[in-house]
Structure 1
Amino acid sequence: MKPRAERAPAKRSALVELIPHHGGRDLIHSPQSTTGLFDGMEEGAILNFNMSKESIKNVIDLIRNANISNEQRTDLTGYDLSKGVAVNLELTSKFILDFIEIEITSGKNIGTKENPFLCEPLIINPMELKYENTTTPLGQEGNFIKVYYKRLDKVTPPAIGYAESGSLAIAFIIKESQKDEFEEYIHAIKTINLSSINWVSQFDEDIFGLCTGCWKSSCCRRACEYMMGNTNIANCTDSIIAYKPPYLPVFGRINLATFSDNTSLYNVSTYNAAALNFDPDKFAEAIRYMKDNLRNGLPVLIGTHYTNGISNPPNNSNRATRHFMVIVGMGMEGDKLYFRFYDPGRSVSNMFNATSPDNKLIINRQNSSIQGHYRNRTYTLTEIVKVN
């Protein structure tokens, strides 16, 4: 008799052909309904219906570590044809999944007459995480989402390598409110830099030399919108446009950080002394909005706060906002998600620093802030202005 290592995978793969990926999904959910499918299979070759918490975390960490190492493929064969459910799964001391259901299929069947149960390894691209809505699991409350990977199959010779198939490889069902943090934990964040965005300085006399409105002799908001495609805002030969910038229509604002008093007018000393209040609900909304925009090739207009300024603040509608900038990218730095920005508030000759890849605002889920160290100051994202 062949060793177990040679026999078990072949036996397990038979079930993939017996249970269709869609029509048979209910069979996988209900162990009782699979009666008869395993007749003749040896012990250890059937589905594992009760993955332990440790095994579930091991699978998640296998994908996470592959992304950290920039691997293009991850082999899940050792966990194929398994499923499980866990509550309060601790991924880190600061991130606990309230609920997770996991299902893992198997590699593509490539059986022959001599070995009808032969299958390929179960391979995924760890960066290609996908999402779709799903129903709330039995006994749970709230909104849930299915996050999953498609299986990679070997391409047909003489070509070499793997290609994504239409078949499911692995799926997780988790709370929708934990989707972003889960995505960040497994490092499934593709680095994005919008190279199509051309930086301009708010001090560029060739563009804004005739403009007078907004804030004294220059206007960061005007320059930001110019970068975002609203070039008419610099048509300051028109005296009305020069004085009153024709800003893009605003479809809403996400105020992440505010002062407790948002009505009084601040001067430089009172502004520098005022404390920021962070809104956890707006924090989650802001991250989702910026991710979605960037993935669709769209920049994001943001307001920021910093102290140690030497002039009076502009007293914007969100009093905490002192300066506007443009988000043009995102990625992971260690275990933290960052958003890259362009700063219009640098001189024309200082494009290098204004657009540096090091211009990052990093999320902090513990205090619901998005901040970065820049120009020897702490810059805090205070608001997102929805203009696209």
Structure 2
Amino acid sequence: MYPSRTADIAIIGGGIIGMSCAYELARQGAEHIVVFDKSNPASGTTGGSAGVVCLHDFDELYACFTLIGYARYQQLRHDYNFTLNSWGSLKVMYEPSAFPPTPDAFHQRFGGGEESIYYHEVLQPQALLHRYPWIKAERVKGGVFYPNQGFIDPYELVELYERLALETGRVEIHRNTPVLQIRTQGDRITSVVTRRGQWQVDRVLNAGGPWGAKIAALAGTHLALTPQRVQVCVATAFDDGVETAPLTGIPESVQGEGVWCRGELGGTLLFGQHHDTTKPGYTVDPDYVNRANDPDYPQAVEQVYRRFWHLPRSAFLNGWCCVYGTTEDGFPIISRDTRLRNFYHAVGLNGHGITLHAGTARAVAELLLHESTSLDLSDVLGKPARLDFSGLHAGRFTSGKLLKFELHNTISVPPPGNGAEQTKE
């Protein structure tokens, strides 16, 4: 009879969330972590993402997680020569929008100097069209360009986290090792059964992305997470001399869905669907999903974008599909399970995981290592402050305490003492 192996923490899912959590937990002192991926790291949602690093100003939590993520990318660039392609993001203002725009409350609260992710240039119409000649002039009033935003290669990022996690000597990573069963006793998980045997575990983290609800079901738990299919098509912009296009969009939808665009290495353009909450008509089983575009999708994107952009030679081609883990209110689930005391979830990033992964990993470390839902922000805000992320609890969907996209107050300044001085706003 084979003996069971043991781990302090088992992480199910080897995408950017699972791998960054493994590194963060090990970095903060967790002893023995094992990561199980049903295929290979980054082979699911992470690998299918466009790798965009940009602002997510929905509320304070999203804004602060964005700051944490941006700071992590700067650290990885400095320490490990990691590639952040700073091609920027561009908001084109069309009539009847007001121009120049007034800085919003998020810029005022979280913006900084020239190194900040909020740093921007206001472009008058002539300057905008000179810099981006493929944008048609009709109705354009100007634009706002954010030069410090951009995109990364998700595979490069996960490979780096994998290397850093293994270098701690506290992490094991098991490829092609699906978890088939989660065994429980009372209100605790006792073991996980994989294709290569059983592991006795003290704590389990569900980092399965759109497979998160299926993983929860293995433990007899319901998770309000919905896998939804999104499409990305490709245009051969190099045929029109486009080289480094920023992340941008147009003021119309394609087949009822918003579509972003960013440049890619080699001179292509990527056009991707996106919605920030669970939306009817997009739900799929992530194990049985069409990975190619719908036959009419590239042509539908082409038809709409050609009304705003001048790309006469570019061909719009079939790309791929990705599956996001989405939630009803558009916020992630980062919490202990509602039923099992040693089961935790870090899922439902709604397509924003590339930017938010480092904040998610730090929140997970607070939960698993300190049983806390308060996150220290002093390193990214430059003053003593903490973020309450208890609202991301998995039970909010049944209790009716859904979160809203608005600027409310989840950041607190610690009182004097305990090494923190009172900071005036």
TM-score relative to the length of structure 2: 0.19
Greater RCO structure (CA 8 Å; 6+ sep): 2
Task: Please say which structure displays the higher CA radius of gyration.
Answer: 1
